[in-house]
Amino acid sequence: MMMRMRAGFVVLITALMAPFSLSAQPALDRTPVSEVYTGPKRLPDFSGSDREYRSYRSRIVEGIKAGPNFAGQYSLIVFGCGTGCRLVMLADVKTGQQYKFPLGGEDDMYLDLKFNISSRTVFAQWENRERCMRELLTWTGSSFARTGAKDIGASEKCSL
């Protein structure tokens, strides 16, 4: 009887953990970078080629000055744009070049990202019309390759 209860408990715990099957850490380990940039930091040209990012100048400069935090030489810069709203910018610390992140803003509320300096993959989770969405995005060196968002259930799943 006790053995049957333990087996039932294990099945219950396994079922409760199912929404976490798209876990962040193992996925991040799949796309390692070979080295981390430690050279001089280059700021964007906000009056020229990076003019479209001028409105976010302070945040981008802070992110670059802090150094790389993603994929060896990039700074993934996340900042608020209102309640539950987050914007994301990607800056190449080595060249100063700016890139757009495919998620964020009012379309992807409560966006949460998991990433690290030694991986090219970002784990993203956000709410979309009362649904919790998850996706892995991999940096190719010029854009993000997307795996396709996965609906993991009601928005409450995002807060687990």
Task: Report which of 138, 118, 123, 124 is spatially closest to residue 69, judged by C-alpha positions.
Answer: 118
Given a cut of 50, is residue 9 above it in pLDDT? no
Buried b (16+ CB within 10 A) or exposed e, 5-38: eeeeeeeeeeeeeeeeeeebeebbeebebeeebe
Q: Sheet of 86-92: strands edge to edge?
A: 74-80, 86-92, 98-100
* 14 contact partners, CB below 8 Å, separation of at least 6: none
Degrees to nearest 5, angle at CA 101 with 34 and 53: 110
- pTM for this entry: 0.80
- Note the helical H segments in 21-74: 24-29, 57-66
The more confident residue out of 115 and 160 is 115
Instruction: Please write the tens of the pLDDT for every residue from 101-119.
Output: 999 999 999 999 999 999 9
Are 50 and 44 in contact by the 8 Å Cβ rule? The answer is: yes
CA 156, 158, 159 angle in degrees (round to 5)? 75
Q: Residue 2's Cα: distance from chain center in Å?
A: 43
Look at residues 17, 43, 20, 9 and name the one whose alpha carbon lies nearest to residue 114: 20
Which residue is it, tokens 């998991």?
A: 114
pLDDT at 15 over 60: no
- Distance CA(134)–CA(23), nearest Å, equals 10
pLDDT tens string 68-102: 999 999 999 999 999 999 999 999 999 999 999 99
